Amino acid sequence: MKKKEPTNPPAPVPEDQMPLERFIKNNLPAFDETPAGGHYERMQAKWTQARRRAKIFSISQMAAACIIAAFAVTIFLYDHTPATPQDTVTLCENAADMKSCYLSKMNDVAAQIRAIAATLDNIDPQEVMIEVDNLLATGNDIEQELPDELSGEAATAVLANYYQHTLESLQTIIQLLSERADAENNLQI
């Protein structure tokens, strides 16, 4: 194609304009040319290829994000699933001294409660531990309160049930205190 000849030379560009703007205004006749044949087709092909590459990249990004999200949800659910005392139950029910086994487990949980309560603002750890001690103390004489008519197996089942519920109550207290500690930590951040 034939170049257009400018009728007037371009006016000089003031120094306060941006370098690119100055370059374009100084070389304005060069921008009046139409591109060579096939230019638009080549650009269209490049854009199509770039879009295809972008789609593939976005699909792989989405797949990676889904995998990461699934992994994060799995970890979250694992961390926030309440601990079930089933392992402790089986261990303690098969122990020679079931009462000592459960009391040992409950004292371990009470120590965890004490540690968490000590880190919390707006909660008096002594009040929490008084309530925990009261919960533990209610079972001190439970064996004497069982009726004499209960057989050995039935008495053991009643005691095991009592100890399981007490242990679950203590673990619920830990869960609630942990959630409160997490909430306080999030507020501080």
Q: Are residues 61 and 93 in the same domain?
A: no
CA distance 20 to 137: 84
CA distance 152 to 158: 10
pLDDT at 65: 80
Q: Are residues 114 and 181 in the same domain?
A: yes
Contact 147, 85 (CB under 8 A): no
pLDDT in tens, 13-70: 566 667 788 788 888 877 777 767 777 788 888 888 777 766 666 677 777 888 888 8
pLDDT at 142: 73
Q: Are residues 31 and 102 in the same domain?
A: no
Of the pLDDT bands very low, low, confident and very high (cuts 50, 70, 90), residue 10 is: low
- CA 103, 97, 135: angle at the middle one, nearest 5? 20
- The dihedral built from the CA positions of residue 152, 156, 157 and 162, taken in this order, carries a sign that is positive
Domain hosting residue 52, numbered range: 19-79
Count of beta carbons in the 10 Å neighbourhood of residue 41: 9
pLDDT at 3 over 60: no
pLDDT in tens, 80-104: 665 554 455 556 766 667 778 888 8
* Residue 11 per-residue DSSP state: P
Residue 89 tokens, joined = 């139950």
pLDDT at 85: 46
* Residue 109 per-residue DSSP state: H
Q: Are residues 29 and 118 in the same domain?
A: no
Q: Are residues 135 and 100 in the same domain?
A: yes
Q: Cite the DSSP H helix spans in 19-85.
A: 19-26, 28-31, 39-80
**What mean pLDDT comes out for the span 173-183?**
84
